[in-house]
Structure formats: structure tokens, C-alpha cells
Amino acid sequence: MATLLQFPAQPATEDRSMQSGSTALKARKTGFSLWIKSLQAVGLAVVVCFSLGATDPGARFNDLGHRMMCTCSCAQLLGECNHVGCSFSGQMRQELSAAIAGGSSDKEILASFSTKYGPTVLAAPTAHGFDLVAWIAPFAVLAAALAGTVLLIRRWAVNSIGAAQDAAAVEQANQDPEARALHDKIRRETGGDGGF
């Protein structure tokens, strides 16, 4: 995270000794590694949690019912199809209950439904073959877009003349009543009525 954040240089007027700077750096490094470890622990916990599956038959029925579509062309999930007299959902739900009672795994149940009703019975793409692209593409695009933006801003920041100005000066300009008044005056006189 620290590599992503780029803060402007400290104000030149600040007087700090080398020793206190070194101590602060060490403290920052320790804090940083603690943050990384905490994040790793949270990540691991999330992965473990996600890898656990539902075991209760009712919960499994509900879960699987929401991972398949009703095939009556209603475009609803099997668990939610509510058409009176729907000739598909009732039978499909019975088959699902029977398969759960028969001890089949989730994977086996989904595969058997897919074989019987066609791959469109699955409410989401599977995690293999070309279907995997469906899952990877959004996160790949997000990651690429974020990385690209970060790199772009860093490049702009390096090239920008304004990068030389430190944050305290900018903040002071933002806070200083006279500067703010001048800024507001300029904005009013150039027609802007505010915004963020």
C-alpha cells in the first residue's frame, strides 16, 4: 500500500534530527510489516471461509436451487421460479431433493443437471474451459485499469511542476481564509458555481 501512496515531500522548514528520522522509519517499517501480516491473515481466513461448503440439506437445496435456472423459459432461478402450474420447476426441485438425499456432491448434481437439461441450466459459467474467461476478465480488467491509472498518475506527478510544492503549502492555501476568499472570488467571477 505504501508504494501506492505518494505523498509530497515534507515541508523544508521542519527540523528533524537524523536519529529521530531513523527511529520513525523503523517504526513505520514495523507497522507496515504488521499491516501486511494482518492482511495476509484476513486473506487466508477469507479463502478458508470461501472453500467451505454448505452441509445442511436445506441449505444445500437453497444454495443449489440458486445456482440453476428453471427451464420453463421464465429466466428465473430454479429456487425462485413461482409460476403456478410450471411443469418444469416442480419436477426439477424434486430431482434436486432426491439427488441431495442420495448423497451426491454439489459438483455431481450440477453435472447431472447440465447433462440432462443442457449447459444453460447452470445459472453462471463454470470454472473451467472457456467459461473461466467469464470470471477472469472482469478482475483482469479492474487490475489492469487500476495499475494503468496508478502508473499514469505517478508519471504525471513526476513531470508536474506542481509536484514540487509540498502538501503543507497546498493545505495552507486551502485553509488560509485570504487564499480561499481569493479563490472563491476568482471562481465566482469566472462563472463556476461550486461543485466538489
Partner 1 sequence: MAAFGSLALLIALALAAYNLLAGAIALRLLATGTPARISPERLADTARRAGIAGFVAITAAAFALVWSVFTNDFSITYIMEHSNRALPGPYKFAALWSGQEGSLLLWAWLLATYGFVLRLTHKSDVTLHAYAGTILAAIQVFFLTVLNFAAPPFSLLNGPAPDDGNGLNPLLQYPEMVIHPPMLYLGYVGFAVPFAFALGALMMRYPGEKWIKITRNWTMVTWLFLTGGIFLGMHWAYAVLGWGGYWGWDPVENASFMPWLTGTAFLHSVMMQEKKGMMKSWNVWLIFSTFLLTMLGTLLTRAGLVSSVHAFAESPIGTWFAVFMGLTLAVCIFTYVLQRDHLKSDHHLESLVSRESSFLFNNLVLLVACFVILWGTLFPVISEYVVGNKVTVGAPFYNRVAVPIGLFLLFLTGVGPLLPWRATSLKSIRRNFVLPVAVLWVAVLACLAAGIRPWKDGTFDGGSFYALVAFAISAGVLTAILSEFFRGARVISKQTGHNLFAATYLLTRRNTRRYGGYIIHLGVVVIVIGLAGAAFNRSEERELALHDKMSVGPYTLQCVGFTQDANLNYNSEYALLDVYKDGKKQFQMTPEKRVYLASQQPQTMVAIHSVPNWDLYVVYEGSNPDTGQPIVKAFLNPLVSWIWAGVAVIVFGTLVALFPSLSPATASLRVPTARPVPTEPVLRSGD
Q: For residues 78-97, which are near partner 1 according to CB under 8 A?
A: 80-82, 84-85
In contact, 133 and 102? CB cutoff 8 Å? no
> In the structure grid, which three cell numbers stand for residue 113, read together?
443437471
For the window 34-53, what string marks contact with partner 1 as x by the rule CB under 8 A? Answer: ------------x-xxxxxx
Compute the least distance from the CB of residue 188 to partner 1, in Å: 4
Q: Which of 31, 43, 57, 119 binds partner 1 (CB under 8 A)?
A: 119
Q: Which of 26, 42, 135, 179 binds partner 1 (CB under 8 A)?
A: 135
Q: Which pairs count as long-range contacts for 53-57, CB under 8 Å and 24+ apart, including other chains? A: 53/106, 57/100, 57/101
Task: Give the angle subtended at the CA of 19 by the CAs of 16 and 21, to the nearest 5°.
Answer: 55
Q: Which of 24, 170, 179, 182 binds partner 1 (CB under 8 A)?
A: 170
Nearer to partner 1, 77 or 111 (CB): 77
Listed ranges 16-24, 35-43, 99-107, 123-131: which one lies at the site for partner 1 (CB under 8 A): 123-131
| Closest among 12, 3, 9 to 164, alpha carbons compared | 9
Distance from C-alpha of 156 to C-alpha of 88, rounded to nearest angstrom: 59
Strand partners, 68: 122
Listed ranges 18-26, 88-96, 98-106, 148-156: which one lies at the site for partner 1 (CB under 8 A): 148-156
